Amino acid sequence: MLSRSSRTLSLLWKGFSNQHHDLFAKHVHQLSREDVPTITTPVYLQHKLKKLRRKLEAKDLEEIRQKTKQGNKRHPIITCKRPEFNCYLGHVLGKHDEVKLASAGWHHRKSAGDHFTIHRVTANPSILIPKEEVYEDDENSFEAHGVHPAVLRGLQEMGIRQPTLIQREAIPAILRKNNVLCSAETGSGKTLAYLVPILTALLGRRDGAAGGVSDKTGAPEVVILAPGRELVNQIGDVAQRLCSPGNVRVDILSGRKSVKVQDLRQDNFQVGAQLILVGATLPTEITDSLSGLVDEETLVNVTTPQLHRLLPHVQHKFLRLRSSSKAGALIETVKADANAGRPVMVFSNATPSCKWVAHFLAENNVSVTSLHGDLLLKDRRESYNRFSSGEATVLACTDLGSRGLDTTHVEHVVNFDFPHHMSDYIHRCGRVGRVGSTVDTCRVTNFVVTPPQVDLVQKIERAARQTKALPRVDANIARFLDERNQAKELEELGRKEPGTLHEDTPEEEQPAKNA
């Protein structure tokens, strides 16, 4: 219990506190009614602060832009030994931005051991969106393009239900009897793109739909020219399978000149013959070369967006090596696939190198066969059949095996000798990732050794980073045309080109030239 004096002191303190609070509140109220002076920033500092604020905002915005331009790091397009050169999906280059290449320093000898990989980013662009059911009135069906019923049955027997992109564009153009220049990426179905409409037109004439059959007994109505014996046999086989229900005769001529070939050279064709040119590489001045054969106004150009571009569904790996390291890298690259039974094609630039590769792999217990120009025709057929049937896992070959052959079972291409020209690289890579392939992990591995090879690799890498078409695809075509013109000039002067084989030499004894 508080004493009397304590209670008195407490009451006095409460009274003083209340009085002090009232005075303080009154003073604050008076201040609120008067103008209170404020501390302001000098004008010259305000301008500096605004400038600094804008600079910081611009820096933040640029950081956001740079992160956006770098793309999505969960989806790499190019990965390198040095991560600073990686490129990701969505990466954007400005108009004046420098293209930084992982292979920029590969001319230096110390770059040996460096590598980079261009990854697969999409499915095969040649294939239209697959459907569970394809109806006759569907614009993406063969029936919608007026394909002959006999050819349709042949397609069904081959398990083909829906046209690819180039087939959808080329078939109606050819059926309209246009002169057609058909160009599309490798493995896109170009063979059927011209065989289907050609056979449809032939069978239509036989049915009496357009003018009847040829009035010259035994005269061919269609002539198909191809650059290699293996490709000729392949085209002939596909044509036989397509038209067997329609009873169209297919003959295959290859090798040395014969009486039959001489007959074809006679001027017994109709003046208005239809011309169809098909390829995976298109020379830039092709129309000038055709000026003396067809009217440019009658030439219809049918192509696809992926022409002369890297296949986006195939992985490309580039290894910078010393020449002495190629053998070890070859065994390391091929052995795992061979042991797993995955078919591999190993390309060389010349026959001696191809022979060495085959011998080296065989010594290391790899099931290998070879395909090159020194082989006789029957040996080439046997060798390729061993590989296509699966008896041999690895095919060591020159560019003889790079053009047109349908290698849907191949999973891996190895460029033991990196090619000299861009078109050769396109055709070699085209042995994998073809329409009809059931493999989703197709890839290409490249051994890069010499300075000219580095130059070509840098062009490929630059095109991949800029998502552009590959440059100078027709460089070797121009060189070939120059050589052919020189040979013609020599022939006109009464000289004979060195190395020309005699016409009477049997085809089995003639090795392929330029292989």
For the segment 271-297, what is each residue's pLDDT rounded down to a tens digit?
578 999 999 988 777 777 777 777 778
Residues 337 and 400 in one domain: yes
Specify the number of domains making up the chain: 3
For residues 346 and 313, the answer to whether their CB atoms sit within 8 Å is: no
Among 257, 274, 256, which Cα is nearest to 265's?
257
Question: What's the confidence (pLDDT) of residue 440?
Answer: 82
Phi-psi region of 431 (alpha: psi -120 to 50; beta: other; left: phi over 0): alpha
Instruction: Please check whether residues 249 and 344 belong to one and the same domain.
Output: no
Residues 406 and 486 in one domain: no
Rounded to whole angstroms, the Cα distance separating 478 from 283 reads 8
Q: What is the pLDDT of residue 64?
A: 55
Q: What is the mean pLDDT of residues 172-189?
A: 93
3-state secondary structure of 68: helix
Domain match, 286 and 427 both:
no
What is the distance between the alpha carbons of residues 397 and 384, in angstroms, rounded to a whole number?
10
Residues 500 and 467 in one domain: no
Please return the burial class of 326, using the count of CB atoms within 10 Å of its CB with bins 0-12, 13-18 and 19+.
middle
Is pTM, for the whole model, over 0.85?
Answer: no
pLDDT surpasses 60 at 321: yes
324-375 pLDDT, tens digit each: 999 999 999 999 999 999 999 999 999 999 999 999 999 999 999 999 999 9
pLDDT confidence tier of residue 25, bands split at 50, 70 and 90: low
Q: Provide the residue type at 143 as one letter.
A: E
Ranked by mean pLDDT, which of 366-375, 469-478, 494-503 comes out on top? 366-375
| Domain CATH number, residue 175 | 3.40.50.300
Indicate if 358 and 400 belong to the same structural domain. yes
Between 2-11, 54-63, 192-201, the lowest mean confidence (pLDDT) is in 2-11
Strands annotated E in 272-336: 276-279, 299-303, 315-320
Q: Are residues 442 and 381 in the same domain?
A: yes
**Beta strands across the sheet bearing 299-303:** 276-279, 179-183, 299-303
By residue range, what is the domain housing residue 482? 478-509
24 belongs to a structural domain: no
20 within some domain: no
Residues 439 and 482 in one domain: no
Report pLDDT digits (tens) over 424-453.
Answer: 999 999 999 999 888 888 999 999 999 999
In this structure, is residue 61 part of a structural domain? no
Q: Are residue 339 and residue 460 in the same domain, yes or no?
A: yes
User: Region 139-166: what's the mean pLDDT?
Assistant: 90
Residues forming beta bridges with residue 118, ordered by sequence position: 78, 316
pLDDT at 509: 42
> How far is CA 33 from each of CA 13, 29, 38, 52, rounded to the nearest angstrom?
31, 7, 15, 37
Q: What is the pLDDT of residue 500?
A: 42
pLDDT of residue 453: 97
Q: Are residues 385 and 486 in the same domain?
A: no
